[in-house]
Amino acid sequence: MKNSAYFTPVTLGRHTLKNRIVLPPLTRQRSSQPGNIANPLMAEYYQQRASAGLLVTEGTQIEPRGQGYAWTPGIHTPEQIAGWRTVTEAVHAKNGVIFAQLWHVGRVSHTALQPEGAAPVSASAIATERVSVFIETAPGAGALVAPSAPRALSTDEVQELVQLYIQAARNAMDAGFDGIELHCANGYLVNQFISAHSNVRTDQYGGSLGNRLRFLRDVVAGVAECIGREKVGVRFAPLFTTTDEARTYLGMVEEDPHTTYIEAIKVLEDVGIAYLSIAEADWDDAPMMPHAFRRAVRDTFSGAIIYAGRYNAESGAQLLESGLADLVAFGRPFMANPDLPARIAHDWPLNPLNPATVYGGNAEGYVDYPTYE
């Protein structure tokens, strides 16, 4: 596929990318403890994958309350910023382009992960169901547990959180990132404001869809003004399914995802950010994303559009050729194949992924996957 759409020029903000293959955000839980600090092992991992047109880091929490899983990295302390700088320097040494995904889990957390054992925060005091978070039970050991009941943020606290996102974006620039991606998907904090299932507020951040999109609007506009709109991407995960299906994004599903997310995408278009990343459901028997929605996304958003799902080389190329996507992200294949773009170009076979080493641990199943010989 070396002559396929994957290897035609594409512009993302101020960058001309080497290909249209993306390493998406993938939680790996390898940060150094204590402190949730990015480390040389993580730098090696990202450098190995720097042949992607664009790399987006795993979610990195913007503040201590933003953590929902043990051993995930942060970007709110000087030590964390310095740790990420080792990552960006390693990627830039290989001429890679790397964005940091800024993350706040909101209610998807546990008191064991919160400062002073406080309740997690959210748009409203509504607990999430059928979800687990991961807490440390001993050094290097942990367990899945149900999230703790959240408390609702006050209006002043919501506005303070907007400033925390802006500061995290500044921190990412200080760490040498080329840009940032706002994690607004998968049932985490921004998504909790967007969804009527988790937002029953009566202030300006709740009620109508326009009000429920206000937090998204404030964060995106604030970050874009701070670091430049050409350095900003946003990730959404619209789920086209019914509320009685067992699998959802952390207990979240919209009655009208088409309208909700097209209106959300209009917010991004008004600000003029660099890209929109859409994560599709990727479990077995997952609902398909309707073509009408993909078409509406393309008609609404003028920046670059990334799709991530259970794509292989062929299906991803078809999506690019349709004109509905500008880039395609590969999660599991990129974990196990650090040289994935070359493998796609030459139709080389892929290493299988070891599911047992995805989360936590050390170099095994992280930086020891071989390149193709």
pLDDT tens per residue, range 61-88: 999 999 999 999 999 999 999 999 999 9
Q: Which residues contact 259 (CB under 8 A, 6 or more apart)?
A: 209
The number of beta carbons lying within 10 Å of the beta carbon of residue 33 is 12
DSSP class of residue 228?
Answer: -
| Predicted pLDDT of residue 243 | 47
Q: Which of these ranges, 113-127, 278-292, 328-342, has the smallest mean pLDDT?
A: 278-292
Residues belonging to the active site: 188
Q: Residue 262 class from Cβ within 10 Å (0-12 exposed, 13-18 middle, 19+ buried)?
A: middle
Complete DSSP assignment for 2-34: TTSGGGS-EEETTEEES-SEEE--------BTT
Reference 266, options 237, 234, 292; nearest CA is: 234
As a whole number of angstroms, the distance between CA 236 and CA 182 comes to 9
Q: What is the pLDDT of residues 186-217, one digit of tens each?
A: 999 999 999 999 999 999 999 999 999 999 99
Question: What percent of the chain is modeled with pLDDT above 70?
Answer: 95
* Cα–Cα distance list, 42 to 76, 91, 279 (Å): 18, 11, 23
| Predicted pLDDT of residue 348 | 97
As a whole number of angstroms, the distance between CA 335 and CA 351 comes to 9
pLDDT at 250 exceeding the cut of 70: no
* Residue matched to tokens 């998968």: 186
DSSP class of residue 78?
Answer: H
| Predicted pLDDT of residue 244 | 46
| Joined tokens for residue 196 | 């009527």
Q: What is the pLDDT of residues 306-348, one digit of tens each?
A: 999 999 999 999 999 999 999 999 999 999 999 999 999 999 9
Cβ contact 247:237 at 8 Å: no
Average pLDDT over residues 20-36: 98
3-state secondary structure of 371: coil
As a whole number of angstroms, the distance between CA 221 and CA 216 comes to 8
CATH class of 5-357: alpha beta
Residue 328 pairs in a beta bridge with 21, 307
